[in-house]
A and B are shown apart, each in its own frame.
Chain A
Amino acid sequence: MTQTTLTVNGQTRTLEVEPRRLLADIIRTEFDVSGVHIGCAHGVCGCCTVHIDGIPRLSCLTFAVQCDGKEINTVESLGGFDATHVLQQAFKSEHGLQCGYCTPGFLMTLAPYVEKKVANGEMPSDEEIREAISGNICRCTGYHGIVAAVRKAISNQLEGQQA
């Protein structure tokens, strides 16, 4: 067992952790944060994407003991239970989700991407958006709605800046 201090969505706890335990499992079982979804558990589907110190990372390819002292954020930290984040709103209006299992992973992969594009005043092409989500698998939507949601989230904010 290894003593590990983690901060998940602002809640800091020090735990005795078995090294083999994945960050995704620790977040779900020890912090009771269920927005981290585990699809494939070997780095293929992107469902378990979280932010570690602000950077997207697959929590199924990360051991909790490696995150000692780090700040972890999950989808719950984006727009809360009302899903008020601009990207969440765009997913809702553009049909970017159906069953919703993959959605937290998409949102956590895309939130910093959208933020960066808006900061640079850039509207990416659909091809670029598809590359940005290439590490996330969605079995329902066929991705069109997700691409449209990204476009909308970026264009809404760019227009907001001009107004």
Chain B
Amino acid sequence: MRPAAFEYHRAASIEEALSLLAEFGEDGRPIAGGQSLVPMMNLRLARPEHLVDINSLELDKIERTGDTLSLGALVRHERYFNEPLIAEHFPAFLDAAHWIGHPTIRRHGSLGGSISHADPSAELPCVCVLHDATIVARSVNGERRIPASEFFISAYVTALEPGEMVVAVELPIPQRKQHGAFIEIAERMGDFAVIGIGAVLELDGDTVLDARIACAGAELTPVRAASAEQFLKGRQLTEEVAQEAGQLFAQSVDPVNDYRSSAEYRRHLIVQLTSRTLMRAMKSKA
């Protein structure tokens, strides 16, 4: 398949990109790596009339400001592996990065692109929800800061308004040392996840002080495990406790049933992967 006709515009500055996107509204889309948008266009699932190429904009910085790590929308996935601030503070993010697409895709795909595309099985939207990230969006009307929990509305649907574009993702740097992990099951390494689970733990020895768990691929947006997170607080983390947390998480979600997997198998995976991810996060302590 080949894409429908569109007009191509190369933006030289953020201001120019935003003014073009404002002019085109619903009919315009920014393009960076194109690793999600172009497949959608080739399959004619997306038919933007105007593409605004933002590859030459300076939106690829990774910087720390106070207790916030800000990642520009044009940071390419392969850079996460070489970023000491991610390795130190967001180990679950780093672990998740290995599961994003394939090496060629990770070299070109961008953070802003993946977030805006909002595939329900994608790693980065899940990681944003896991880490309580803030999505920074900009339009000619100014900047909006949207909590990740409110950004992902449904499959491929976000809180972005026509004419608005993601410019950065902000991650709150935790006060205390955190341990994290991310595991997923896909048909083939790098394929879309059937289920992916991310976990972040704050530990005192084996005792959980705080826990966060999120799942990709179960529902139409990433989901957090409120009941399992609550259950883990104050408990000693053992295989049994981790299994129980997985059961609680699986009971609290309503998994989709599709060609990739039945809802029942997804529920089974949530139990097992939650348990494995928690244990992997704890073992990463050593």
Footprint of B on A, CB under 8 Å? 2, 18-22, 25, 41-44, 46, 49, 55-58, 60-63, 65-66, 109, 113, 130-132, 134-136
Contacts and interface: CB of A to CB of B under 8 A. Distances in A.
A109 B107 CA distance: 12
A134 B189 CA distance: 6
A41 B107 CA distance: 19
Contact of A20 (B4, B31, B102): B4
A18 B43 CA distance: 18
Contacts of B105: 43, 58, 135
B7 interface: yes
A72 to B, nearest CB: 14
A53 to B, nearest CB: 12
Contacts of A22: 2-3, 42
22 contacts: A19-B5, A19-B6, A19-B8, A20-B6, A25-B2, A41-B42, A42-B1, A42-B38, A44-B39, A46-B104, A58-B105, A61-B42, A61-B108, A63-B38, A66-B31, A66-B53, A132-B103, A134-B102, A134-B103, A135-B104, A135-B105, A136-B102
Contacts of B7: 19
A61 B38 contact: yes
Nearest to A64: B8
B103 A131 contact: yes
Given A20-B6, A42-B39, A135-B105, 12 more contacts: A22-B42, A43-B35, A49-B104, A57-B107, A60-B42, A61-B34, A61-B38, A62-B38, A66-B34, A113-B103, A130-B189, A132-B103
B162 interface: no
B6 A61 contact: no
A63 B39 CA distance: 12
B42 A42 contact: yes
Contacts of B1: 41-42
Interface of B: 1-8, 31, 34-35, 38-39, 42-43, 51, 53, 55, 101-105, 107-108, 188-190
A65 B53 CA distance: 10
A66 B9 CA distance: 10
A56 B103 CA distance: 9
B110 to A, nearest CB: 13
A66 B56 CA distance: 11
Nearest to A58: B104
A20 B5 contact: yes
Contacts of A55: 107
Contacts of B6: 19-20
Contacts of A43: 35, 38-39, 105
Identify which of B6, B31, B42, B53 gathers the most chain A CB atoms within 10 Å of its CB. B42
A4 B198 CA distance: 44
Contacts of A25: 2
Contacts of A63: 8, 34, 38, 51
A61 B5 contact: no
A135 B53 contact: no
A4 B118 CA distance: 32
A34 B3 CA distance: 21
A65 B160 CA distance: 27
Contacts of A2: 8
Contact of B8 (A58, A60, A65): A65
Nearest to B5: A20
A131 B38 contact: no
B104 A57 contact: yes
